[in-house]
A and B are shown apart, each in its own frame.
Chain A
């Protein structure tokens, strides 16, 4: 039972890291991406490669994973971010589809559908992790670090410039900021942070294969951001808890197992539609409304058009 809860906690922590890092793009830079599972996957594969071939050091593997994933998102961002936002959405889906094909087909590196197995347990500063609880602690520490980093980042001049472009591109350009450079930086950082989740996942499950990094999962990460509320720190956390906890709750309802997946997806699809119509700032904004002294800021992503 403790192992079950610890495992659920690790998955939740991974989801929070992924949703929060994607929020940097969706909520702060106004870039809609449906390819976040790619960066998660690239991070997981890179960490797995390091762990299998070089060292079982978690910190080293994570550093490599962040670098590789950041580089991949940089390479995607530079050419594609020049086009309009609606095109980037489609380009990111295209990128996800191409990447999924590469994950399954590039046997020499990814091991194809079979994936990479036998990843050794992680070692952190000389400490060998074995139990699920230890992984939970590791995940929690990583999650807090990532969240703290994002919190500092969005309050920095860089974060303020990003928000300025999201809210009014013309005015921000008039201030002499370069939108392309800012957006590329946000995308690169977002990709590198997603790799932290990938690295945790690879060590925790000790096995990676393409099925964990599909378009469906990218959609789910995006759903977490949207449902929770893009553009706030609490939003992606609320969304990640909502979407990760839901399947666990559905387990308690008597239902033929083949219905579980579709019902789950139906619920989060319907939540997105209803929230977008009635409450586009997401679930987290409900809580913000209850504290009357602070003005409610519009945070439903970019506001251009």
Chain B
């Protein structure tokens, strides 16, 4: 039973990071209608930038975190500006944009493989230690994951409700063309959505590298988790996406309690497939069925 609770703790911590990634994906998708498959590449690049700064260049942690965020935002905005926007202008189909995004993920992953190799890196930090609460072991990274996710998502909630930019982004979620009619230029706001969505994966990148280490395949995996979280939560609903990410983290870790860890990805996608079959609108989403 204690094992179950321990797994629950790990699940909530992992799920908090998935939630950040899923919210970022959902924000980008809902505002710009871009199925940003390279979202995980953003995370991977941020993680490797953080690793390079902290362990190779020996930068102080604050600067390394700033670099990771900067890399994430630069990649997200750059891709929107240089790849997606030109394609949207020519009215490219969903599948064309998806294919380009897919290609970007392959390119980013292999650039990292060429620079850093395929092997596993870890970042030493006192944060990966922890303490016992009764029989449960809590690590600082896990606590930090939950705290960062809560703060970021609350801040986003406030931003979307209380600022002018946030209101315009929400209007884009409802009807991007109409926002364009008001002369608010969805190009600029598309880049803002990409900047925020990409910045949200930076904490996930940093905390994952502290907790589980780095590997080039982490990008593709996180893309899948982010999308799965967004779908389970109900696409088009940011808070649903957060919930979906959290749920996947918990399901994954509780599943590992009963099955071997080779089943971890299969559990995530088992949950996803079940949702797609029986509740394709997700937990909090609007109707999405074909016809």
Residues of chain A touching chain B, judged by Cβ–Cβ distance below 8 Å, are 26, 30, 32, 79-87, 89-91, 93-95, 97-98, 101-102, 104-105, 169, 173, 179-180, 219, 222-223, 226, 230, 258-259, 261-263, 265-266, 268-273, 276-277, 280, 300-305
Contacts and interface: CB of A to CB of B under 8 A. Distances in A.
Interface of B: 33, 35, 83, 86-87, 92-100, 102-107, 109-111, 113-114, 117-118, 224, 227-228, 231, 262-263, 265-266, 268-270, 272-273, 276-277, 280, 288-291
B280 A87 contact: yes
Which 10 pairs show the lowest CB-CB distances between chains A and B?
Answer: A269-B106, A94-B269, A272-B103, A301-B95, A276-B100, A273-B103, A269-B107, A101-B266, A266-B110, A262-B113
Given A222-B102, A266-B107, A303-B93, 16 more contacts: A83-B288, A90-B228, A94-B270, A262-B113, A263-B110, A263-B114, A269-B104, A269-B106, A270-B103, A272-B103, A273-B107, A277-B100, A280-B96, A300-B95, A301-B93, A302-B94
B190 to A, nearest CB: 16
Contact of A269 (B110, B266, B273): B110
A91 B290 contact: no
A85 B95 contact: yes
A105 B263 contact: yes
Given A266-B111, A302-B94, A94 B100 contact: no
Given A98-B270, A300-B93, A272 B102 contact: yes
Nearest to B115: A262
Nearest to A301: B95
Which of B95, B99, B291 has the most chain A CB atoms closer than 10 A to its own CB?
A: B95
Contacts of A269: 103-107, 109-110
B289 A83 contact: yes
9 contacts: A32-B95, A97-B265, A97-B266, A105-B262, A268-B106, A269-B103, A272-B106, A276-B99, A280-B96
Contacts of A87: 231, 276, 280, 288
A101 B95 contact: no
Given A98-B266, A104-B262, A269-B103, A89 B98 contact: yes
A84 B93 CA distance: 14
A85 B113 CA distance: 31
Main secondary structure of the interface of A (DSSP, over half): helix
Contact of B117 (A30, A84, A105, A258): A258
B269 A93 contact: yes
Q: Of A169, A226, A302, which is in contact with the most chain B CB atoms at under 10 Å from its CB?
A: A226
A276 B92 contact: yes
Given A94-B272, A277-B86, A277-B87, A83 B280 contact: yes
Given A80-B277, A98-B273, A226 B99 contact: yes
B131 to A, nearest CB: 35
A109 B290 CA distance: 37
Contact of A84 (B105, B262, B288): B288
Nearest to B111: A266
Contact of A91 (B97, B262, B263, B276): B276
A179 B291 CA distance: 10
Contacts of B107: 266, 269-270, 273
A144 B93 CA distance: 31
Contacts of A304: 93-94
Nearest to B220: A215
B100 A305 contact: no
Contacts of B227: 90
A219 to B, nearest CB: 7
Contacts of A266: 106-107, 110-111, 114
A102 B30 CA distance: 34
Contacts of A102: 266
B290 A82 contact: yes
Contact of B87 (A84, A230, A276, A301): A276
Contacts of B86: 277
Contact of B100 (A179, A265, A272): A272
Given A83-B290, A301-B96, A304-B94, A271 B114 contact: no
Nearest to B84: A277
B138 to A, nearest CB: 30
Contacts of B96: 276, 280, 300-301
B233 to A, nearest CB: 13
Contacts of B95: 26, 30, 32, 85, 230, 300-302
A267 B109 CA distance: 12
B269 A82 contact: no
